[in-house]
Structure 1
Amino acid sequence: MKIEYDAGTALTIMRGNPVRGWISGKPEKMAKERLTTGNYLAVQHKPKFKIDPTWPIFTMGSCFAREVENILMMRGLPLLLRGHGVPAEHFESWDEATGRGGGADRGQLSRGALNKYSVRSMTHELKRVLRGESYPNDGLIELAPGQWFDPHASGLRLLDRDTAFANRKRLSEATATIKQARICFFTLGLTETWLDAQTGIAMNAHPGPSWLQRMPERFRFVDYGYDATLADMLDIIGLIREHCNPEMRFVVTVSPVPFGATFKDADVIVANSASKSLLRAVAEELFRRFDYVDYFPSYEIVLNSPRALAFEDDQLHIAREMVAHVMTTFQGAYLPPAEQPQAA
């Protein structure tokens, strides 16, 4: 959807915008100056709407979405996924010696299994919960006798049938909390996706290189383009407003967390840029089309802050202080100042 003004309107908008210039305007407002302070990037964001601090919030997306949730909960906002998750000991990262894995301790529930990396996998999960779509064995795959893999979860190890199906129920119940939401916060992660050729499910994660090699006909790699990704997001938004709150509002972001690896014949840095650029273009189109969809520039804030501040040492995960800065910007933009919850 194009944006078009007459010249007079365009000049009025430009002159009224204090952060319009890269190397012009007030020094503290210039992009050049803001990009070279050596500190976190300050972005002026004008939201389309304010968020009532009492509105139940539903979040979906990549691991960056989990970091966002932690800040939202710390600041007292009603996060619907709070208390949901999968037992920490069911994660691949589980360490028996320390009694910790999946970002939680033994006996605790971790939301890490809720990570959704591709838009297509988000679409399948929501259709399962809101439209009642069903799959053989609830979509789970028995990779070896008694070893079950959930293609819609994230980070879980292979489990026995009863445990795997119980976890699938937990995750579906968590997603179903969207029916109580007043606002949805979506973090778009990547375009590279794996499909289960037998069920047609867009998997949230593949079962690992060894299983891909053993079952090459069952699993297929797809890197979705702009048209398919936009169509999925339009489907998601329509589905939610039909089956949940018809006045639902959405805040869409793009995750600044890069690929761990690419399956395309390209430098991972180039492939990551292509994927994020496509997702950013889809988010922009949604922002232009709907007054109830806003784009929040967490991607730009992180990527244009000093890398030593923005990322952990692995240059993959976002530093906790960086996430806090992003969410401080979010809070200042969307929450009425007099009602901003105080950090615990």
Structure 2
Amino acid sequence: MKIEYDAGTALSIMRGNPVRGWTSGKPEKMAKERLTTGGYLAIEHKPKFRIDPSWPIFTMGSCFAREVENILMMRGLQLLLNGHGVPAEHFETWNEETGRGGGADRGQLSRGALNKYSVRSMTHELKRALLGESYPDEGLIELAPGQWFDPQASGLRLLDRENALANRKRLAAATAQIRQARVCFFTLGLTETWLDAETGIAMNAHPGPSWLQRMPERFRFVDYGYDATLADMEEIIGLIREHCHPEMRFVVTVSPVPFGATFKDADVIVANSASKSVLRAVAEELFRRHDFVDYFPSYEIVLNSPRAIAFQDDQLHIARDMVAHVMTTFQNAYLAPQEQSQAA
């Protein structure tokens, strides 16, 4: 959807925008100056709508979405996934090479299993919750006798059938919380996806290189492009507004967290940039098409802040103080001043 104005309107908008210039305008408003302070990037974001602090919020997306949840809960907002998760002892240990695994302390529930990296996997999860879409064995895959893999979860180790089904029930119950939401916060993670050829599920994560090698006919790699990703997001938004709150509002962002690894024949840095560019373009189109969809620039805030303070040492995960800065920007934009003090 194109944006088009007559010259007078375009000039009026430009002149009324204090942050329009890269090297022009007031020094503190110039992009050149804001990008070279050595601190976190300050962005002036004008939201399409305000968020009432009493509105229940549903979040879905990559691991960055979990960081967003933590900050919002600390600030007193109603996160519907609070208290949902999977026992920490069911998680893999963190694997630096694959970028998988991790969890909470043993004995606690972790929301990490709820991470959703590709839009197509988000679509499957929401169709289960809202349309009752079902699969044999709840979509679980028995990779070896008594070793079950949930392709729609994140970071879980192989489990016996009883525990795998129990976790699938926990994750389904968490996703079903979207019916109570008034606003959805979607964090788009990546376009590279793995398919289970037997069930047709676009998996949230593959079972690991060794299993891919053992079962090459069952698992297929797909890198979804702009058209398919936009169609999936439109389907998701329509599905939610039909089956949940009819005036649901959406805040969409792109996760600044990069790939753990790419399956394309490209430098991982280049492949990651291509994937994020598709997702950013999709988010922009949704912003242009719908007055109830807003784009929040967490991606730009993180990527244009000094990397030394924006990322943890692994250069993969976002530093906690960086996340806090992003969410302060979010709070200042979406909550009125009196509402901010109530939510603090």
TM-score bracket, normalised by the shorter chain, equals: over 0.9
Measured after TM superposition, the shift of residue 343 of structure 1 is 7.6
Label 1:157 to 1:178 Cα distance change in 2 as closer, same or farther (>3 A): same
Which residue type is aligned with residue 210 of structure 1?
A: S
Task: Give 1:114-133 correspondences, 5 Å limit.
Answer: 114-133=114-133
Indicate yes or no: 2:295 matched with 1:295: yes
2:208 is aligned to: 208
Q: Give yes or no for contact 1:75–1:341 (8 Å, CA) kept in 2.
A: no
**Residue aligned with 2:269, SS:** helix
Is the CA contact (8 Å cut-off) linking 1:77 and 1:341 kept in structure 2?
A: no
SS in 1 for 2:73: helix
Stretches of structure 1 lacking an aligned partner (at least 5 in a row): 95-100
For the residue of structure 2 that corresponds to 1:105, the secondary structure is coil
1:50 aligns with 2:50: yes
- 3-state SS of paired residue (2:250): strand
Q: How far has the Cα of 1:102 moved from its partner?
A: 3.7
Per-residue deviation, residues 99-153 of structure 1 (Å, max 9, x unmatched)? xx84322221000000000000000000011011111110000000000000000
- CA drift of 1:208 comes to 0.1
In structure 1, the residue matched to 2:165 is 165
Identity %: 89
Corresponding residue number in structure 2 for 1:3: 3
Query: Does the Cα contact within 8 Å between 1:264 and 1:271 map onto a contact in 2?
Result: yes
CA drift of 1:46 comes to: 0.1
Residue 216 of structure 2 aligns to a residue whose secondary structure is coil
CA distance in 2, matches of 1:102, 1:262: 20
**What amino acid maps onto 1:307 in structure 2?**
R
Contact 2:53-2:343 at 8 Å conserved across structures: no
- SS of the counterpart of 2:20? coil
Please state whether the residue corresponding to 1:220 is helix, strand or coil.
Answer: strand
Determine the structure 2 residue equivalent to 1:140.
140
1:187 corresponds to which residue? 187
Establish whether residue 105 from structure 1 lines up as the match of residue 109 from structure 2: no
Per-residue Cα deviation, 1:192-248 (whole angstroms, up to 9, x for no partner): 000000000000000000000000000000000000000000000000000000000
What CA distance in whole angstroms lies between the structure 2 residues aligned with 1:336 and 1:20?
A: 24
Q: Could you say if the C-alpha distance between residues 338 and 60 of structure 1 is closer, same or farther in structure 2, counting changes exceeding 3 Å?
A: same
Q: What's the RMSD between the two structures over aligned residues? A: 1.0
The aligned amino acid for 1:120 is R
8 Å Cα contact 2:195/2:222 also seen in 1: yes
**Equivalent residues, number:** 338
Report if aligned partners of 2:190, 2:279 keep a CA contact under 8 Å in 1: yes
The offset of 1:342, in angstroms, is 6.3
Tell me the distance in 1 between the aligned counterparts of 2:33 and 2:138: 53
| CA distances 1:9-42 after superposition (whole Å, capped 9, x unpaired) | 0000000000000000000000000000000000
TM-score of the pair, normalised by structure 1: 0.97
Amino acid at match of 2:314: D
Q: Which runs of 4+ in 1 moved over 2 A?
A: 341-344
Question: Do 1:76 and 1:341's aligned partners in 2 also have CA atoms closer than 8 Å?
Answer: no
Q: Normalised by the size of structure 2, how large is the TM-score?
A: 0.97
Distance across 1 between alignment mates of 2:268 and 2:104 = 30
After superposition, the Cα gap between the structure-2 partners of 1:4 and 1:133, relative to the gap in structure 1 and judged at 3 Å, is same
Q: CA–CA distance in 2 between the matches of 1:243 and 1:104? A: 32
